[in-house]
Amino acid sequence: MKIQEIENIEISLLLEAIYGRYGYDFRDYARATVERRSRLFAKNTGLKSISELIPRIMRDEMFFERLVKEFSITVTELFRDPSSYKELKLKVFPILKTYPFIKIWHAGCATGEEVYSLAILLKQEGLYDKATIYATDFNDEALEVAKNGIYSIDNMKQCTANYLAAGGTDALSDYYYAKHESVIFDKALRKNVMFANHNLTTDGIFGEMHLVMCKNVLIYFNKTLQNKVLNLFCDSLIHSGYLCLGSKESILFTDVENKFENIDKGERIFRKITGTANV
Amino acid sequence: MSDYSAIVMGMSAGGMEVLINIFLNLDKSFPLPVIIVQHLHPMHKSELPDILRRYTAMEVLEASEKCVVEPGKIYLAPADYHLLVERDATISLSNDEKVNYSRPSIDLLFESAAYVWGDKLIGILFTGANNDGAEGIKAIKKYGGLTIAENPDTAEYSAMPGSAVDTGCVDLIYSKEEIKLYLEKLSVDKL
């Protein structure tokens, strides 16, 4: 048997072990990235193969916690993919304004930069006060960072450029203050934000949403899991609710292809055209 | 039947000049898929596929999520996403941290392709001013594939192919013109 075939079996066994022992289900994640992270983790912990991870994972909860951290994606930035925010502001916010209250689910929010991004734009459009934002992730450590809203100052120049490209109207610095090497976001931005642990692979619907944001999460899933999660989003949305995905994600060739219509040129904001929420 | 199933390529500074030359005489009958990481500025809306189409009769695509790679087609990594290959020969994109200060990273493409195609893979590393791709070349070699580097003496930027050569894992060191001829020979061998 070729070495890469053996390694493929090792990865499957590892994911099965994690699921059986801890209930975290990575079996339907896009394999290449999980494999890369497993290899890196094994190497960084001084182990020679992926299968050597398995006994450690089974007996050592702390070790598992470290692996989960490795597996969960926390790469994000303020106003990442600014044109999608601009489209939201131009095409979705005017409709949201017509509702007496709005519920937004930001699924897979990681360290929260994009939650603050959304909150700022909602404020500028006079929508924030009637909004509730549910910001969820399965990584508790990332959620803690999100709750604090303190980020490194290093990338602020790029983020400010993104913010302007996203159609932000006043100075971004109105929403944070800088201290040492950090920027600290205004507490008022999270007044209507509920941060909560939610795992898209295993947890269900928890509310009736007007907008679901989930950017650069689905790319980490295989087709099966993508369909499952897209159905979850579809069932969570009210009739005519909106779904906003990452710039390289699409509902084309998925289960929900016919349940949404595309409303922007970039094909990443979709409007639900069937049924009401199945909550 | 060819001995190979796919070609992966990486290039950085100076790569445009390579891209618009090496595929000039190839068309859709080319027997292998070609998957390419060319470093791009993240804010750049990629016009690379449109440009490359003018210089080849192969089909040129921006690699999209979950697409199946097919012979005769060139797949270019989108800006600001890593491109990885899955075992079912589909494309995965990832938003992971930069590797070698790069996203997309050549190492990630090469490594993932090595796991998928093993000794059926050809990896070619061209001009560039950093050292992305060297680890990838090592992985391709380790899994039995064929590794080619552009000759650092004639490459526009020598650092990237040079650091691959320094790993001792490069099978063939070719000039850009020789790589072009090699690809054309692969094409003819299949007929």
Residue B1, in any domain of the structure: no
Residue A153: how many CB atoms within 10 A of its CB? 15
State the smallest CA–CA distance between residue B115 and chain A in angstroms: 5
Domain that holds residue B114: 6-189
Residue A227: how many CB atoms within 10 A of its CB? 18
State the smallest CA–CA distance between residue B20 and chain A in angstroms: 25
* Count of the separate structural domains present in chain B: 1
Chain A contacts of B87, Cβ < 8 Å? 8, 31
Amino acid making up residue B61? L
Helix (H) or strand (E) holding A206: none
Could you tell me the two tokens for A188? 């008022």
To which residue do tokens 């893979």 refer?
B121
Residue pair A272/A232 in contact (Cβ under 8 Å)? The answer is no
- The H helix count followed by the E strand count for chain B is 6, 9
Residue pair A70/A57 in contact (Cβ under 8 Å)? The answer is no
Q: In A72-112, which ranges are continuous DSSP H helix? A: 82-87, 93-96
DSSP state letter for A75: -
In tens, the pLDDT along A199-256 reads: 999 999 989 999 999 999 999 999 999 999 999 999 999 999 999 999 999 898 899 9
Determine, for residues A8 and B87 on separate chains, whether the beta-carbon distance falls below 8 Å: yes
Residue B150, in any domain of the structure: yes
User: Quick one: which of B35, B26, B12, B8 has its CA closest to B126?
Assistant: B12
All domains of chain A, ordered by start, with CATH? 3-71 (no CATH), 82-272 (3.40.50.150)
Active site residue B12: yes
Query: Which one of B5, B35, B65 would you mutate to disrupt binding with A, by most A Cβ within 10 Å of its Cβ?
Result: B65
Chain B contacts of A252, Cβ < 8 Å? none
Here the CATH number for the domain that contains residue B151 is 3.40.50.180
A1 and chain B: CB distance < 8 Å anywhere? no
Q: What is the pLDDT along chain B (191 residues), one digit of tens a residue?
A: 568 999 999 999 999 999 999 999 999 999 999 999 999 766 566 789 999 999 999 999 999 999 999 999 999 999 989 999 999 999 999 999 999 999 999 999 999 999 999 999 999 999 999 999 999 999 999 999 999 999 999 999 999 999 999 999 999 999 999 999 999 999 987 54
Chain B contacts of A246, Cβ < 8 Å? 95
Residue B77, in any domain of the structure: yes
CA distance B125 to B140: 12
Helix (H, G, I), strand (E, B) or coil at A269: strand
Residue B162, in any domain of the structure: yes
Residues of B with CB under 8 A from a CB of A: 64-66, 78, 81, 84-87, 92-97, 108, 111-112, 114-116, 118, 143
Residue pair B157/B127 in contact (Cβ under 8 Å)? The answer is yes
